[in-house]
Amino acid sequence: MTDRPNPLQYLGYSYGRRLPASMKEWVAHDLADYGAVRRHMIRMAIPPLLVLAPLWLLPASLYVHLEMTVPIYVWALLMSMALNKIWRRHRLAQHGLDPNLVDAIRRQRDARLHEDYVRRFGPRPESAKFQANSSPF
């Protein structure tokens, strides 16, 4: 069984702290396996919720409360979704793991397509290798 973080370690890890090297396998599973995007989105949905919650204590109508908080909260969720792969790549590199693990599931899913391409058209040229990952950098 792999080491798992305790609740305090998990809280720190969720928002940027590094876990000990003995938990690398758990980190790889958490950031690159099935459900990684869902876990990332849940973690990133909590801080803006905590920041915006006090606004609901102000005396105002429901419409005004929604008008004050929903656009900011939706924008925070959209930014987390847009940057999820970049953030997960960074976290993998932070723990000394290969950032390309983020694309491992997609590569497994698309393996048949690539095999079919190679069978029909031959192997891809070496110059196309840099396009094999989704890193924006």
**Is the whole-model pTM more than 0.85?**
no
133 lies in a domain?
Answer: no
102 lies in a domain?
Answer: yes
Torsion of CA 131, 30, 94, 133, to 10 degrees: 0
In this prediction, residue 130 has a pLDDT band, given cuts at 50, 70 and 90, of low
Q: How far apart are CA 61 and CA 40, in angstroms?
A: 33
Q: How far apart are CA 79 and CA 36, in angstroms?
A: 16
In this prediction, residue 110 has a pLDDT band, given cuts at 50, 70 and 90, of confident
2 lies in a domain?
Answer: no
18 lies in a domain?
Answer: yes
Give the tens place of pLDDT for each residue, 4-30.
999 999 999 999 999 999 999 999 999
113 lies in a domain?
Answer: yes
44 lies in a domain?
Answer: yes
Among the listed residues 94, 72, 117, the one whose alpha carbon sits nearest the alpha carbon of residue 17: 94
> In one letter, which amino acid is 41?
M
Q: How far apart are CA 135 and CA 137, in angstroms?
A: 5
137 lies in a domain?
Answer: no
pLDDT for residue 134: 66
134 lies in a domain?
Answer: no
- Tally the domains of the chain: 1
Range of the domain at 24: 7-126
**66-95 average pLDDT score:** 95
> In one letter, which amino acid is 79?
M
* Share above pLDDT 70 across residues of the chain, in percent, rounded to a whole number: 92
Mapped to the 3 state alphabet, what secondary structure does 16-74 carry?
CCCCCHHHHHHHHHHHHCCCHHHHHHHHHHHHHHHHHHHHHHCCCCHHHHHHHHHHHHH
DSSP 125: P
